Amino acid sequence: MKRARFTEVQIISLLKEHEAGAKTADLARKQGVSEATLYNWKAKYGGIDVSET
């Protein structure tokens, strides 16, 4: 089984940064993931707060 590169806490913090106004392309480039991955994460973790993980 493949090991996850990012923890749920890291993903949620990235999504919070995106909600704060950071551009998707810039975040994806900075973290080394595709824009599609960010959108998939947003669909999965979009409404979750760090305390809920």
Per residue in 23-35, pLDDT (tens digit) is 999 999 999 999 9
Give the C-alpha distances (Å, rounded to integers) separating 2 from 6, 21, 50: 12, 32, 24
Residue 7 and residue 45 in contact, taking contact as beta carbons nearer than 8 Å: no
Q: What is the mean pLDDT of residues 35-42?
A: 94
pLDDT at 52: 65
Q: What is the mean pLDDT of residues 26-51?
A: 90
Give the C-alpha distances (Å, rounded to integers) separating 32 from 21, 29, 38, 43: 19, 5, 11, 19
Q: What is the mean pLDDT of residues 6-33?
A: 92
| Burial grade of 20 (CB within 10 A; 0-12, 13-18, 19 or more) | exposed
Q: Is the pLDDT of residue 39 over 90?
A: yes
Q: Is the pLDDT of residue 3 over 80?
A: no
Q: What is the mean pLDDT of residues 19-46?
A: 93
Residue 48 and residue 12 in contact, taking contact as beta carbons nearer than 8 Å: yes
